[in-house]
Structure 1
Amino acid sequence: MPNTIAERLQATLSAIAKAAELAQRPASDIQLLAVSKTKPVSDIMLAYTAGQRHFGENYVQEGVAKTEELAHLSDLVWHFIGPIQSNKSAFVAKNFSWCHSIDRLKIAKRLSAQRPEALPALNVCIQVNINMEETKSGFAPEEVSSAAQIIAELPNLNLRGLMAIPKASQSEPELAATFAALHDMFTDLQTHYPSVDTLSMGMSSDLELAVASGSTMVRVGTGIFGAR
């Protein structure tokens, strides 16, 4: 069992490569997003030293503090993947390169309006409430197409794709069906928007199935940084 962050990172990359090979996909098609929420900057630096560049944060205040502390590392790519309150949207717009959790049009419009002109467009994913859980935010599957039309027109956003957190208590066949539904939505979006290239689905526990189902970005926290 790998003991260090560098070892766990390498084991995760190896798992992605193996899953990609089984799915007859190039491993280079799948981006590993290291979810560093609640973990100290020292842990992020250990992963960075081991070669990881894309990091995901769930909490605005904590994430902003980390982006500021590590601002000298120009090749770090920060992804915001947590819920966004309206009064916190400006912090996301100013400090992150990506936002995966566009769960309503109000937030998309605020992020576009608040994105500094000096920065490139904010890369965004539409969050889909794929299993229609009352406790989860996100667009209903039937709302994704109309939401994409509006978000794609916002001036300071770059629509990159979809993100979802499937229902936890699913059997493997149920989860496979959920991932397949997301992939169908993703490929449909790609036919309309050339910028769409990202399907952010899969975490530590279901990474292999997500890769087999067409994920292009897997979000792994515990598998790299250990238990929270």
Structure 2
Amino acid sequence: MSKIIKNIQNIYEKISNFSKKNKIKSRKIKLLIVTKNQGTHVIKKMIKNKFVSFGENYLQESLKKIKKFKKNKLKWHFLGKIQSNKTKLIAKNFSWCHTIDRKKIAFLLNKHRNNITPPLNVLIQINISNNRNKNGTSKESCFQLAEYVKNLKNLHLKGIMCLPNLNSKNDEYQKIQNIFQKMKKKYKNINTLSLGTSQDFKKAILYGSTLIRIGKKIFS
């Protein structure tokens, strides 16, 4: 068994043990393997071990991987910043997009997803700290954006994504959890809180994350 596969199994075990310790149902928490900067040989190895969902930040890099493994029916998640001129390629090649932060991007993704099934699963990225150096819509405007996205027929609004400040107190995590709970009550299809990375996945679990994005702990 390779070191990478061992690392993945170790993370699953940590998620399970930590969840049990805190009386959280670990089966509701999904692990997304972030494969940015990883070669196709690495992905091939993971496919052989039955992994099918991968997260990518860089469009041009990811398109080469998607093309190579087109026959494998994988689920690709786009995690990077979205520029308008990238929306067509994202809409046509990915199963999920985690980083919708404004109406224009949602409109273009919907437009370019036309005649492609199923709809593109999307998350609204929230800049919970209102940090100018971070992407995402504000917590004040996220519901307005959600209302817009839910009416686009080629997009399937699944929830929200956030990158809290790692050195912040728990208030940012609590705020994003509160938003997620409110959104679940308002929209029946909301079931995904993409929160937590290699650095903070345990804290994310405590605050209701259902999808954790891990790269560093797998490949280092």
TM-score (ref. length: structure 2): 0.96
Shift of 1:166: 1.1
> 2:165 maps to what in 1?
167
**Alignment of 1:4 onto 2:3:** yes
> 1:213 maps to what in 2?
207
Provide the C-alpha distance between the structure 2 equivalents of 1:17 and 1:116, rounded to a whole number of angstroms: 39
Provide the C-alpha distance between the structure 1 equivalents of 2:194 and 2:6, rounded to a whole number of angstroms: 24
Provide the C-alpha distance between the structure 2 equivalents of 1:34 and 1:102, rounded to a whole number of angstroms: 20
Q: Where do 5+ consecutive residues of structure 2 fail to align?
A: none
Aligned partner of 2:128 among 130, 133, 137: 130
> 2:152 maps to what in 1?
154
> 2:142 maps to what in 1?
144
Provide the C-alpha distance between the structure 2 equivalents of 1:8 and 1:139, rounded to a whole number of angstroms: 34
Shift of 1:102: 0.3
> 1:177 maps to what in 2?
171
Provide the C-alpha distance between the structure 1 equivalents of 2:56 and 2:80, rounded to a whole number of angstroms: 7
Provide the C-alpha distance between the structure 2 equivalents of 1:68 and 1:3, rounded to a whole number of angstroms: 25
Shift of 1:136: 0.8
Aligned partner of 2:98 among 97, 100, 104: 100
Provide the C-alpha distance between the structure 2 equivalents of 1:23 and 1:131, rounded to a whole number of angstroms: 26
- The percentage of counterpart residues that share the same residue type is 35
Correspondence 1:80-91 to 2 at 5 A: 80-91=78-89
Provide the C-alpha distance between the structure 2 equivalents of 1:38 and 1:11, rounded to a whole number of angstroms: 21
- Return the letter of the residue paired with 2:212: V
Paired residues, what number?
220
- Return the letter of the residue paired with 1:195: N
Q: Secondary structure at the match of 2:124?
A: strand
> 1:111 maps to what in 2?
109
- Return the letter of the residue paired with 2:198: S
Provide the C-alpha distance between the structure 1 equivalents of 2:135 and 2:199, rounded to a whole number of angstroms: 21
TM-score (ref. length: structure 1): 0.93
Q: Secondary structure at the match of 1:141?
A: coil
Instruction: Report Cα offsets for 1:108-144 as digits up to 9, x if no partner.
Output: 1100000041321000000000111111111000111
- Taking CA–CA contacts closer than 8 Å with sequence separation of 6 or more, which of the two structures ends up with the larger relative contact order? 1
Aligned partner of 1:188 among 164, 182, 185: 182
Q: Secondary structure at the match of 1:146?
A: helix
Correspondence 1:22-41 to 2 at 5 A: 22-41=21-40
- Return the letter of the residue paired with 1:204: S
- Return the letter of the residue paired with 1:186: F
Provide the C-alpha distance between the structure 2 equivalents of 1:185 and 1:96, rounded to a whole number of angstroms: 26
Q: Secondary structure at the match of 1:21?
A: helix
Q: Secondary structure at the match of 1:187?
A: helix
> 2:16 maps to what in 1?
17
Provide the C-alpha distance between the structure 2 equivalents of 1:46 and 1:178, rounded to a whole number of angstroms: 37
Q: Secondary structure at the match of 1:72?
A: helix
Shift of 1:65: 1.3
Q: Where do 5+ consecutive residues of structure 1 fail to align?
A: none
Shift of 1:3: 6.9
Provide the C-alpha distance between the structure 2 equivalents of 1:20 and 1:45, rounded to a whole number of angstroms: 30
**Alignment of 1:54 onto 2:48:** no
Shift of 1:72: 1.3
Shift of 1:61: 0.9
Provide the C-alpha distance between the structure 1 equivalents of 2:171 and 2:22, rounded to a whole number of angstroms: 16
